[in-house]
Structure 1
Amino acid sequence: MSARSPRTVVVDDSRFMRGLIADILESGGVEVVGEAGDGREALSVVADTDPDVVTMDVEMPEMDGIEAVERLMADHPTPTLMLSAYTAEGAEETFAALDAGAVDFFAKPGGEVSMGVSRMEEQLVETVRSVAEADISTTGRSRRTEAAAAATTAAGSAPRGRSTTAIEPNTTLVIGSSTGGPDAVERVVSALPGDADLRGVVVQHMPEAFTGRFAERLDAACDLSVVEAEDGMRLGKGELAVARGGHHLEIGSARNGRLRLKVFDEERGQGVRPSVNVAMESAADVVDDPLIGVVLTGMGADGSDGVQALAQAGGRVLAQDEETSVVYGMPKRAAETGCVDTVLPLDDIAGGITGETV
């Protein structure tokens, strides 16, 4: 994190919300250098002030947040945090903004104009500071498309889902991520072969209204079957489950190549829910077959306890490298434990899972 306070432009069509967000950020030590009431005005304000980070509402007149992010990334690339409604519709729009190049999102509780934001001051300030430090060269669908094309060329244009024998039978996979994670997870799972003998879970820090849509996006992007986790669900070969937002996910048992999941909302002292630590530690406790843990981009230290548990259980641990991480927080803390076997660029992670990348 830089020594000085990040400089921020706040974009929202509600004057009340602009003032509320600006007050919260400034009270947390973030300098607000400009405000805008719609996407078109935001482009002008950003060009004039050259901020470190932009907070961008999704629903606005004249030019909405999605188009504004597209234009911003083309004309004046700036790390952008989307502020979206805590709804399924808000999730759809937010993922479109992430595709356009936004770094992360913050779901406003209680609707578009909400005093609920003030109850989450610390989290909002922390997220803005994290996004201000993000490497935006790794974000957006265009980057995913370029990476996929390069991977296909490097593999001799081999089709997705090609057969592989590198993965050991009955392998369990646990992937954890946070800031920048939706894009990173998609790039990893879309590169995994559809007939691989693995099953597992994805733990992405994300609100409950968003995780179902995230699972659908992953399912459409890859040859594995991906669903949102439900309590008591069983997973077999070729199946992944995304942890439900606002709930912890544990692997309750592992028998005959199938995992049984536990989904619950009790406090576990992790500071985040779902927690990568909770999922990884449960896998270490109950899985006797081959076990692989992966820690991708994200702020904070979630996963650092989990990778230690996996290593002690004989599992293999991979972490994303600093250069390709949007925020090198979680992978760094995982690597500092000494329990990470391999640190890899994002587009080599899938090969690390299958054993094709050493």
Structure 2
Amino acid sequence: MRSGPRTVVVDDSRFMRGLITDILESGGVEVVAEAADGAEALSVVADVDPDVVTMDVEMPRMNGIEAVERLMREHPTPTLMLSAYTEDGAEETFAALDAGAVDFFAKPGGEVSMGVSRMEEQLVETVRSVAEADISGGRTSGAAVATATHGGTATETRPVGGVEPNTTVVIGSSTGGPDAVERVLSALPGGEDLRVLVVQHMPEAFTGRFADRLDAACELDVAEATDGARIGRGEVLVARGGEHMKVTRYRDGRLRVQLIDEDRGQNVRPSVNVTMESAAATIDDPLVGVILTGMGDDGATGVRAISEAGGRIIAQDEATSVVYGMPKRAAATGRVDTVLPLDDVAGGIVGGAS
């Protein structure tokens, strides 16, 4: 069993601290210290210099949001928020992500859609992933030259032309994705002939709030997906947590989706693969697949399907990915056409038509 990462567990409940510690240590994660609130967490982190912190949101003296803000200023450390599985918890969690937290996880013992053992495995996996996150804040922007890796051949590419009529974009992301997706969508012009599907690994209680945030941040009209929802030019659907989003129909620039409440052989729900594969099978107009930061390999099968259907594939580069898991697995398929820094992805979508 792998050792590490060195972890500090922060929660005002002694029972919850013990439960989280037991889960992590049984999964081979080393818990080096615990703290009962944000103020104590700052002192403990400064003393033990951990690889990762798990942080409760609601705590006395100093809550998790303020603690993350202080931590990122005083002792930057990758932080995973453990949030209540509620709409209120979603609001607070997004505030913590804005403050600098890397990712979040529904608290053990909450109402979750996966079994207890699977939830415990996922928590351990997420802590390990967050511990490896790059929180240096370095960003690459401007008219950077991208590298085309399709078929394993590196070539210099530059955006040319404009977006093709009736272009559909499918964006997949996980760890670090909420901020990455927002930055991509907010950079897309509202006047282009685009319709966008977003698949972000996120629990059901959070995706509606995520869609609202995206809608406020960009020129496109963004909504959480519902079963049978239709979108056209200038519209975006965000996959609902706990259900796959499948494209079932496409005609005259409008597409329709179905929500599926079953695994479909995937280890996450919603799955990027399900949406990308169904889009590739259904849409006969221009199609672009985008893989952003995230752990795991979801999307690798989907990019193959889009590429085989004649679509383009864009992957976020390692330097700007919080976790270079999903983009790396996508690139390993040999189907990625363009690798771009996060702040150039929107330009690649709009200007990459040939």
Among candidates 201, 220, 231, match of residue 205 of structure 1? 201
Alpha-carbon distance, 1:355 to partner: 1.2
Sort the Cα spacing of 1:4 and 1:352 in 2 relative to 1 into closer, same or farther, 3 A: same
Tell me the alpha carbon deviations over residues 293-320 of structure 1, each in whole angstroms, 9 at most, x when there is no partner. Answer: 0000000000000000000000000000
Matched, 1:100 2:92: no
Matched, 1:10 2:6: no
1:11-160 equivalent positions in 2, closer than 5 A: 11-108=10-107, 110-111=109-110, 120-138=119-137
Quick one: which amino acid aligns to residue 237 of structure 2? A
Residue number in structure 2 paired with 1:190: 186
Among candidates 290, 293, 300, match of residue 297 of structure 1? 293
Alpha-carbon distance, 1:108 to partner: 1.7
Among candidates 314, 319, 326, match of residue 318 of structure 1? 314
Alpha-carbon distance, 1:200 to partner: 2.1
Aligned residue for 1:137, secondary structure, equals coil
Q: Is the 8 A contact 1:348 1:357 kept in 2?
A: no
Among candidates 245, 269, 276, match of residue 241 of structure 2? 245
Residue number in structure 2 paired with 1:216: 212
Matched, 1:273 2:272: no
Tell me the alpha carbon deviations over residues 75-116 of structure 1, each in whole angstroms, 9 at most, x when there is no partner. Answer: 00000000000000000000000000000000125549xxx8
Quick one: which amino acid aligns to residue 21 of structure 1? I
Residue number in structure 1 paired with 2:253: 257
Matched, 1:352 2:348: yes
Alpha-carbon distance, 1:321 to partner: 0.4
Alpha-carbon distance, 1:26 to partner: 0.7
Alpha-carbon distance, 1:121 to partner: 1.0
Quick one: which amino acid aligns to residue 123 of structure 2? L
Tell me the alpha carbon deviations over residues 240-266 of structure 1, each in whole angstroms, 9 at most, x when there is no partner. Answer: 000000000011111010001111211
Tell me the alpha carbon deviations over residues 192-244 of structure 1, each in whole angstroms, 9 at most, x when there is no partner. Answer: 00011010210000000000000000000000000000111110100000000
Quick one: which amino acid aligns to residue 55 of structure 2? M
The percent of aligned pairs where both chains have the same amino acid is 77
Quick one: which amino acid aligns to residue 46 of structure 2? A
Q: Is the 8 A contact 1:86 1:109 kept in 2?
A: no
> Superposition RMSD on alpha carbons, in Å?
2.0
Q: In structure 1, how many angstroms separate the alpha carbons of the residues matched to 2:305 and 2:198?
A: 17
Among candidates 223, 229, 250, match of residue 227 of structure 1? 223
Residue number in structure 1 paired with 2:339: 343
Q: In structure 1, how many angstroms separate the alpha carbons of the residues matched to 2:226 and 2:165?
A: 25
Question: Normalising by structure 2, what TM-score?
Answer: 0.91
Tell me the alpha carbon deviations over residues 26-56 of structure 1, each in whole angstroms, 9 at most, x when there is no partner. Answer: 1111000100000000000000000000000
4+ residue runs over 2 A deviation: 109-112, 116-119
Alpha-carbon distance, 1:357 to partner: 9.8
Q: In structure 2, how many angstroms separate the alpha carbons of the residues matched to 1:191 and 1:43?
A: 35
Sort the Cα spacing of 1:304 and 1:118 in 2 relative to 1 into closer, same or farther, 3 A: closer
Q: In structure 2, how many angstroms separate the alpha carbons of the residues matched to 1:308 and 1:229?
A: 24
Alpha-carbon distance, 1:120 to partner: 1.5
Q: Is the 8 A contact 2:84 2:106 kept in 1?
A: yes
- Residue segments in structure 1 that go unaligned for 5+ positions in a row: 153-163
Residue number in structure 2 paired with 1:156: none
- Residue segments in structure 2 that go unaligned for 5+ positions in a row: 144-159
Alpha-carbon distance, 1:119 to partner: 5.9
Quick one: which amino acid aligns to residue 238 of structure 1? G
Tell me the alpha carbon deviations over residues 11-31 of structure 1, each in whole angstroms, 9 at most, x when there is no partner. Answer: 000000001100111111100
Residue number in structure 2 paired with 1:161: none
Quick one: which amino acid aligns to residue 127 of structure 2? V
Q: In structure 1, how many angstroms separate the alpha carbons of the residues matched to 2:344 and 2:12?
A: 41
Q: In structure 1, how many angstroms separate the alpha carbons of the residues matched to 2:261 and 2:267?
A: 13
Matched, 1:175 2:171: yes
